[in-house]
Amino acid sequence: MTAPATPSAASRIAVVTGASSGIGAATARQLAAAGYRVVLTARRKDRIEALAEEIDAAGHSAAAYALDVTDRAAVDEFATAFRTIGVLVNNAGGALGTDPVATGDPQDWRTMYETNVIGTLNLTQALLPALTASGDGTVVVVSSTAGHGTYEGGAGYVAAKHAEHVLAETLRLEIVGQPVRVIEIAPGMVKTEEFSLTRFRGDEERAAKVYEGVAEPLSADDVADTITWAVTRPSHVNVDLLVVRPRAQASNTKVHREL
Protein backbone atom coordinates (compact mmCIF):
# COMPACT_ATOMS: atom_id res chain seq x y z
CA MET A 1 0.00 0.00 0.00
CA THR A 2 1.22 3.50 -0.82
CA ALA A 3 2.15 5.49 2.27
CA PRO A 4 0.58 8.95 2.66
CA ALA A 5 2.86 11.68 1.31
CA THR A 6 4.00 14.39 3.70
CA PRO A 7 3.91 17.94 2.36
CA SER A 8 7.11 19.75 1.39
CA ALA A 9 7.87 23.13 3.00
CA ALA A 10 6.58 24.98 -0.08
CA SER A 11 3.36 22.99 -0.20
CA ARG A 12 2.61 22.85 3.51
CA ILE A 13 -0.25 25.35 3.62
CA ALA A 14 -3.77 24.06 3.03
CA VAL A 15 -6.62 26.57 2.65
CA VAL A 16 -10.07 25.22 3.46
CA THR A 17 -13.22 27.21 2.66
CA GLY A 18 -16.44 26.73 4.58
CA ALA A 19 -14.31 25.55 7.50
CA SER A 20 -16.72 26.71 10.21
CA SER A 21 -18.68 23.44 10.35
CA GLY A 22 -19.40 20.09 8.72
CA ILE A 23 -17.15 18.73 5.99
CA GLY A 24 -14.93 21.84 5.98
CA ALA A 25 -14.21 21.71 9.72
CA ALA A 26 -13.59 17.95 9.62
CA THR A 27 -11.27 18.35 6.63
CA ALA A 28 -9.31 21.08 8.39
CA ARG A 29 -8.80 18.82 11.43
CA GLN A 30 -7.70 15.86 9.31
CA LEU A 31 -5.36 17.82 7.01
CA ALA A 32 -3.77 19.41 10.09
CA ALA A 33 -3.21 15.95 11.55
CA ALA A 34 -1.65 14.93 8.21
CA GLY A 35 0.99 17.65 8.61
CA TYR A 36 -0.53 20.64 6.85
CA ARG A 37 -0.67 24.14 8.28
CA VAL A 38 -4.36 24.76 7.72
CA VAL A 39 -5.88 28.15 6.98
CA LEU A 40 -9.54 28.10 7.92
CA THR A 41 -11.85 30.42 6.06
CA ALA A 42 -15.57 31.04 6.50
CA ARG A 43 -17.81 34.00 7.17
CA ARG A 44 -18.26 33.14 10.86
CA LYS A 45 -15.06 34.34 12.46
CA ASP A 46 -15.84 33.11 15.99
CA ARG A 47 -16.27 29.53 14.80
CA ILE A 48 -13.09 29.32 12.76
CA GLU A 49 -11.08 31.02 15.49
CA ALA A 50 -12.32 28.44 18.00
CA LEU A 51 -11.46 25.61 15.60
CA ALA A 52 -7.99 27.06 14.93
CA GLU A 53 -7.38 27.14 18.69
CA GLU A 54 -8.56 23.54 19.00
CA ILE A 55 -6.23 22.41 16.21
CA ASP A 56 -3.28 24.31 17.71
CA ALA A 57 -4.02 22.84 21.14
CA ALA A 58 -3.88 19.36 19.59
CA GLY A 59 -0.27 20.10 18.61
CA HIS A 60 -0.99 20.96 14.97
CA SER A 61 -0.99 24.29 13.17
CA ALA A 62 -3.95 26.44 12.11
CA ALA A 63 -4.91 30.03 11.37
CA ALA A 64 -8.35 31.58 10.87
CA TYR A 65 -9.29 34.18 8.25
CA ALA A 66 -12.87 35.46 7.98
CA LEU A 67 -13.84 35.42 4.31
CA ASP A 68 -16.93 35.47 2.12
CA VAL A 69 -15.97 33.45 -0.96
CA THR A 70 -18.37 35.45 -3.14
CA ASP A 71 -16.55 38.72 -2.36
CA ARG A 72 -13.85 38.82 -5.05
CA ALA A 73 -12.04 41.87 -3.67
CA ALA A 74 -11.79 40.19 -0.25
CA VAL A 75 -10.61 36.94 -1.83
CA ASP A 76 -7.91 38.77 -3.80
CA GLU A 77 -6.79 40.54 -0.64
CA PHE A 78 -6.66 37.18 1.20
CA ALA A 79 -4.55 35.66 -1.59
CA THR A 80 -1.85 38.33 -1.25
CA ALA A 81 -0.85 36.68 2.04
CA PHE A 82 0.52 33.62 0.23
CA ARG A 83 3.55 33.14 -1.97
CA THR A 84 3.13 29.36 -2.10
CA ILE A 85 0.39 27.04 -0.93
CA GLY A 86 -0.02 23.30 -1.35
CA VAL A 87 -3.74 22.69 -1.13
CA LEU A 88 -6.96 24.57 -1.72
CA VAL A 89 -10.13 22.79 -0.61
CA ASN A 90 -13.15 24.47 -2.19
CA ASN A 91 -15.81 23.30 0.21
CA ALA A 92 -17.95 26.39 0.87
CA GLY A 93 -21.43 26.21 -0.61
CA GLY A 94 -24.76 24.60 0.03
CA ALA A 95 -28.35 24.15 -1.05
CA LEU A 96 -31.39 26.38 -0.71
CA GLY A 97 -34.85 24.90 -1.06
CA THR A 98 -36.29 21.92 -2.89
CA ASP A 99 -38.73 23.76 -5.12
CA PRO A 100 -39.57 22.37 -8.54
CA VAL A 101 -38.35 24.20 -11.62
CA ALA A 102 -41.87 25.57 -12.19
CA THR A 103 -41.90 27.56 -8.95
CA GLY A 104 -38.28 27.84 -7.77
CA ASP A 105 -37.13 31.28 -6.66
CA PRO A 106 -34.57 32.70 -9.12
CA GLN A 107 -32.88 34.41 -6.19
CA ASP A 108 -32.21 31.02 -4.57
CA TRP A 109 -30.69 29.80 -7.83
CA ARG A 110 -28.49 32.90 -7.99
CA THR A 111 -27.35 32.48 -4.39
CA MET A 112 -26.49 28.83 -4.95
CA TYR A 113 -24.59 29.65 -8.13
CA GLU A 114 -22.70 32.44 -6.39
CA THR A 115 -21.66 30.47 -3.31
CA ASN A 116 -20.94 27.11 -4.92
CA VAL A 117 -19.62 28.06 -8.35
CA ILE A 118 -18.38 31.65 -8.26
CA GLY A 119 -16.96 31.07 -4.78
CA THR A 120 -14.93 28.14 -6.11
CA LEU A 121 -13.93 30.16 -9.18
CA ASN A 122 -12.82 33.11 -7.04
CA LEU A 123 -10.61 31.11 -4.71
CA THR A 124 -9.18 28.95 -7.48
CA GLN A 125 -8.28 31.91 -9.68
CA ALA A 126 -6.81 33.90 -6.79
CA LEU A 127 -4.69 31.05 -5.41
CA LEU A 128 -3.65 29.26 -8.61
CA PRO A 129 -0.39 31.24 -8.89
CA ALA A 130 0.59 30.27 -5.31
CA LEU A 131 -0.45 26.65 -5.90
CA THR A 132 1.69 26.54 -9.05
CA ALA A 133 4.61 28.27 -7.33
CA SER A 134 4.69 25.53 -4.68
CA GLY A 135 5.72 23.06 -7.37
CA ASP A 136 3.22 20.61 -5.90
CA GLY A 137 -0.28 22.09 -5.68
CA THR A 138 -3.69 20.46 -5.29
CA VAL A 139 -7.08 22.02 -5.94
CA VAL A 140 -9.92 20.06 -4.36
CA VAL A 141 -13.48 20.75 -5.45
CA VAL A 142 -16.06 19.34 -3.06
CA SER A 143 -18.97 18.93 -5.42
CA SER A 144 -21.73 16.41 -4.78
CA THR A 145 -23.51 13.48 -6.33
CA ALA A 146 -25.88 16.30 -7.31
CA GLY A 147 -23.13 17.27 -9.75
CA HIS A 148 -23.58 13.99 -11.57
CA GLY A 149 -27.31 13.36 -11.76
CA THR A 150 -30.51 15.21 -11.05
CA TYR A 151 -33.53 14.65 -8.84
CA GLU A 152 -36.93 16.28 -8.53
CA GLY A 153 -36.86 19.48 -6.51
CA GLY A 154 -33.09 19.72 -6.78
CA ALA A 155 -32.58 21.62 -10.03
CA GLY A 156 -31.11 24.84 -8.63
CA TYR A 157 -28.57 22.99 -6.50
CA VAL A 158 -27.99 20.30 -9.13
CA ALA A 159 -27.28 22.96 -11.76
CA ALA A 160 -24.73 24.65 -9.49
CA LYS A 161 -23.05 21.36 -8.61
CA HIS A 162 -22.89 20.34 -12.28
CA ALA A 163 -21.17 23.67 -12.92
CA GLU A 164 -18.62 22.93 -10.20
CA HIS A 165 -17.95 19.56 -11.80
CA VAL A 166 -17.41 21.28 -15.16
CA LEU A 167 -15.08 23.81 -13.56
CA ALA A 168 -12.94 21.01 -12.09
CA GLU A 169 -12.88 18.96 -15.27
CA THR A 170 -12.08 21.94 -17.50
CA LEU A 171 -9.36 23.28 -15.20
CA ARG A 172 -7.69 19.85 -15.22
CA LEU A 173 -7.55 19.97 -19.00
CA GLU A 174 -6.28 23.54 -19.10
CA ILE A 175 -3.42 23.21 -16.63
CA VAL A 176 -2.12 19.77 -17.54
CA GLY A 177 1.67 19.93 -17.54
CA GLN A 178 1.73 22.32 -14.60
CA PRO A 179 2.46 20.99 -11.10
CA VAL A 180 -1.14 21.23 -9.88
CA ARG A 181 -3.67 18.42 -9.48
CA VAL A 182 -7.41 18.94 -9.67
CA ILE A 183 -9.40 16.54 -7.51
CA GLU A 184 -13.18 16.40 -7.34
CA ILE A 185 -14.83 14.72 -4.37
CA ALA A 186 -18.56 14.10 -4.90
CA PRO A 187 -20.33 13.07 -1.69
CA GLY A 188 -23.87 11.71 -1.58
CA MET A 189 -25.96 11.75 1.59
CA VAL A 190 -23.92 13.28 4.40
CA LYS A 191 -25.51 14.09 7.74
CA THR A 192 -24.02 17.30 9.06
CA GLU A 193 -25.34 19.82 11.56
CA GLU A 194 -26.20 22.43 8.94
CA PHE A 195 -26.56 21.26 5.31
CA SER A 196 -30.18 20.15 5.46
CA LEU A 197 -31.17 22.78 8.01
CA THR A 198 -29.92 25.53 5.70
CA ARG A 199 -31.67 23.96 2.72
CA PHE A 200 -34.98 23.98 4.63
CA ARG A 201 -34.34 27.43 6.10
CA GLY A 202 -34.22 26.30 9.70
CA ASP A 203 -37.19 23.89 9.58
CA GLU A 204 -35.80 21.13 11.82
CA GLU A 205 -38.56 18.65 11.08
CA ARG A 206 -38.11 18.80 7.30
CA ALA A 207 -34.34 18.79 7.69
CA ALA A 208 -34.44 15.64 9.82
CA LYS A 209 -36.75 13.85 7.35
CA VAL A 210 -33.96 13.72 4.77
CA TYR A 211 -32.12 11.17 6.95
CA GLU A 212 -35.19 9.42 8.37
CA GLY A 213 -34.71 5.66 8.64
CA VAL A 214 -31.27 5.77 7.00
CA ALA A 215 -29.12 3.60 9.22
CA GLU A 216 -25.83 5.32 8.59
CA PRO A 217 -25.62 8.39 6.39
CA LEU A 218 -22.05 9.53 5.78
CA SER A 219 -20.56 11.80 8.42
CA ALA A 220 -18.43 14.89 7.80
CA ASP A 221 -15.47 12.82 8.99
CA ASP A 222 -16.14 10.14 6.37
CA VAL A 223 -15.92 12.74 3.61
CA ALA A 224 -12.91 14.49 5.17
CA ASP A 225 -11.23 11.09 5.21
CA THR A 226 -11.68 10.69 1.43
CA ILE A 227 -10.45 14.25 0.83
CA THR A 228 -7.38 13.70 3.01
CA TRP A 229 -6.69 10.35 1.37
CA ALA A 230 -6.83 11.88 -2.13
CA VAL A 231 -4.67 14.86 -1.13
CA THR A 232 -2.00 12.71 0.52
CA ARG A 233 -1.46 10.43 -2.49
CA PRO A 234 1.97 10.93 -4.07
CA SER A 235 2.05 14.05 -6.28
CA HIS A 236 1.91 12.16 -9.57
CA VAL A 237 -1.36 10.43 -8.56
CA ASN A 238 -4.42 12.53 -9.49
CA VAL A 239 -7.71 11.23 -8.14
CA ASP A 240 -9.85 12.95 -10.79
CA LEU A 241 -13.21 12.16 -9.26
CA LEU A 242 -14.22 10.27 -6.18
CA VAL A 243 -17.93 9.57 -5.63
CA VAL A 244 -18.74 8.55 -2.08
CA ARG A 245 -22.14 7.56 -0.73
CA PRO A 246 -23.45 5.70 2.29
CA ARG A 247 -24.08 2.01 1.68
CA ALA A 248 -27.81 2.68 2.11
CA GLN A 249 -27.87 5.05 -0.87
CA ALA A 250 -27.64 3.48 -4.31
CA SER A 251 -28.42 6.65 -6.28
CA ASN A 252 -29.66 10.18 -5.70
CA THR A 253 -33.21 8.83 -5.61
CA LYS A 254 -32.74 5.28 -4.32
CA VAL A 255 -32.23 5.26 -0.56
CA HIS A 256 -32.89 2.34 1.78
CA ARG A 257 -34.88 3.46 4.82
CA GLU A 258 -35.80 1.29 7.79
CA LEU A 259 -39.06 2.87 8.88
Return d(Cα 35, Cα 8) in angstroms, integer: 10
Pairwise CA distance, residues 62 & 71, whole Å: 23
90 binds ligand 8X3 (CB under 6 A): no
Applying CB under 6 A, the span of 46-54, 116-124, 140-148, 212-220 interacting with ligand 8X3 comes to: 140-148
154 binds ligand 8X3 (CB under 6 A): yes
Q: List the one residue from 146, 160, 168, 185 that touches ligand 8X3 (CB under 6 A).
A: 146
State the minimum distance, in angstroms, from the CB of residue 151 to ligand 8X3. Answer: 7
Q: Which stretch binds ligand 8X3 (CB under 6 A): 51-59, 77-85, 105-113, 139-147?
A: 139-147
Active site residue ranges: 157
In whole angstroms, give the CA distance from residue 39 to residue 14: 6
Please say which residue, 27 or 252, places its beta carbon nearer to ligand 8X3. Answer: 252
Rule CB under 6 A: say whether 252 interacts with ligand 8X3: yes
Least distance to ligand 8X3 from the beta carbon of 196, Å?
Answer: 8
21 touches ligand 8X3 by CB under 6 A: no
Where does this chain bind ligand 8X3 (CB under 6 A)? 144-146, 154, 157, 188-189, 252
